[in-house]
């Protein structure tokens, strides 16, 4: 897998103000990379993750996913790509309130039409839930969980389809240090064993210490 951003620009309109979120960004992400994007709030980090994850389109430039320009894909093709190849950990968690922990983690697999009755799938989901420390919360819904617990559900959900790329916006922001270290070990193991690429936006120095590359972002531009 290779994702390439070539001179990507993205603007937003806020009222009467035009915001240049990305101003000609170039970046290549390959199998097994572990990249941290660091920078102040408003520097463009989240917009960059949205571009890598095919959640948004750019004004100019290219986002190439294995050589295919994501901007040329239909909405259905982009949705399939996201479900099959990309895992997301959002700051706002984006959990389904009517589903319990197991069902929220399982959801991307259900959307991808994997068999619900599959024993290996159930085992994998339970393994992820155990790894993020929520075995005793399997039947709980999001409104019965703390912010840190919801964050852990979101991390397990991001990994359930064994994606080639995981994008995470401040993945340890709501976690205590012990849980954050456990999550980081899990992510690093998947990065190493499955060659899953990780791109995190974070201020967490423990993540920064363990990643392969740190890229600094300011005013919509990247620097190593």
What residues are paired with 60 via a beta bridge?
9
Give pLDDT tens digits along the chain (224 positions).
999 999 999 998 888 888 899 999 999 999 999 999 999 888 999 999 999 999 999 999 999 999 999 989 999 999 999 999 999 998 889 999 999 999 999 999 988 765 554 578 999 999 999 999 999 999 999 999 999 999 999 999 999 999 999 999 989 888 888 888 888 889 999 999 999 999 999 888 888 888 999 999 999 999 86
| Beta carbons within 8 Å of 194's beta carbon, 6+ residues apart | 162
Q: What pLDDT, on the 0 to 100 scale, is given for residue 117?
A: 47
| Beta carbons within 8 Å of 132's beta carbon, 6+ residues apart | 152, 153, 155, 156, 182, 183, 186
CB 61 within 8 A of CB 9: yes
Q: What pLDDT, on the 0 to 100 scale, is given for residue 118?
A: 59
Q: What pLDDT, on the 0 to 100 scale, is given for residue 192?
A: 92
Output the six-digit token pair for 156: 């397990």
Q: What pLDDT, on the 0 to 100 scale, is given for residue 41?
A: 87
User: What stretches of 61-176 show up as alpha helix (H) in DSSP?
Assistant: 75-85, 101-111, 119-131, 147-159
Nearest 10 degrees: CA dihedral of 113, 187, 142, 160? 10
Residue 188 CB neighbour total at 10 angstroms? 15
Q: What pLDDT, on the 0 to 100 scale, is given for residue 107?
A: 94
Q: What is the pTM of this model?
A: 0.91
- DSSP annotation of 176 reads -
């Amino acid at each position: 897998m290779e994702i390439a951003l070539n001179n990507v620009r993205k603007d937003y309109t806020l009222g009467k103000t035009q915001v240049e979120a990305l101003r000609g960004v170039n970046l290549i992400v390959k199998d097994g990379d572990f990249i941290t994007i660091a920078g102040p709030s408003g520097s463009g980090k989240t917009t960059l993750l949205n571009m890598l994850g095919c959640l948004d389109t750019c004004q100019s430039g290219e986002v190439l996913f294995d050589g295919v320009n994501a901007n040329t894909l239909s909405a259905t093709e982009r949705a399939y790509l996201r479900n099959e190849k990309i895992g997301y950990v959002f700051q706002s968690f984006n959990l389904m309130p009517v589903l319990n922990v197991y069902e929220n983690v399982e959801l991307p697999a259900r959307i991808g039409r994997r068999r619900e009755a599959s024993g290996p799938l159930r085992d994998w989901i339970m393994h992820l839930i155990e790894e993020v420390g929520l075995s005793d919360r399997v039947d709980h819904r999001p409104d019965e969980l703390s912010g840190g617990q919801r964050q852990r559900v979101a991390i397990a959900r991001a990994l359930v389809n064994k994606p080639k790329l995981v994008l995470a916006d401040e993945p340890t922001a709501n976690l205590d240090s012990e849980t954050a270290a456990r999550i980081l070990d899990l992510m690093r193991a998947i990065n190493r064993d499955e060659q899953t690429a990780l791109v995190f936006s974070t201020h967490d120095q423990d993540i920064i210490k363990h990643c392969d590359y740190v890229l600094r972002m300011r005013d919509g531009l990247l620097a190593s």
